Amino acid sequence: MSITLSEKERIEIEYWRNSELERPGADIVNNLVFKLAEARILLHKIERHRDSFAGARRMLEVGAGQGWAACIVKRLWPQAHVAACDISPYAIASLELWERVFQIRLDEAFAARSYALPVAPASLDLVFCFEAAHHFVAHRRTFAELARVLQPGGRCLYLHEPACSSALHWAAHARVNRKRPEVPEDVLVHSKIEALAADAGLQCETCFDPTIVNRGPAETVYYSLVGRMPLLQRVLPCTADFVVTKPGNPRAS
Task: Answer whether residue 68 is part of any domain.
Answer: yes
Task: Answer whether residue 250 is part of any domain.
Answer: no
Q: In this predicted structure, what is the pLDDT of residue 252?
A: 56
* Dist. CA 195–CA 202, nearest whole Å: 9
Instruction: Give the CATH number, domain containing residue 240.
Output: 3.40.50.150
Q: In this predicted structure, what is the pLDDT of residue 1?
A: 52
Task: Answer whether residue 251 is part of any domain.
Answer: no
| DSSP single-letter state for residue 127 | E
Task: Answer whether residue 253 is part of any domain.
Answer: no
Task: Answer whether residue 235 is part of any domain.
Answer: yes
**Total of domains in the chain:** 1
Task: Answer whether residue 204 is part of any domain.
Answer: yes
* Dist. CA 48–CA 13, nearest whole Å: 31
Q: In this predicted structure, what is the pLDDT of residue 36?
A: 87
**Total-model pTM:** 0.93
Burial class from Cβ neighbours inside 10 Å (0-12, 13-18, 19+) for residue 89 reads middle
> Helices marked H in 49-111 — which ranges?
50-54, 68-76, 89-92, 95-102
Strand partners, 60: 83, 127
Across the chain, which has 253 residues, the per-10-residue mean pLDDT values are 84 93 85 89 96 96 97 98 98 95 97 97 98 94 98 98 93 82 88 98 97 90 92 92 93 58
Task: Answer whether residue 58 is part of any domain.
Answer: yes
Task: Answer whether residue 143 is part of any domain.
Answer: yes
Phi and psi based region of residue 46 (left: phi greater than 0; alpha: psi -120 to 50; beta: remaining): alpha
What is the domain range of residue 209?
5-245
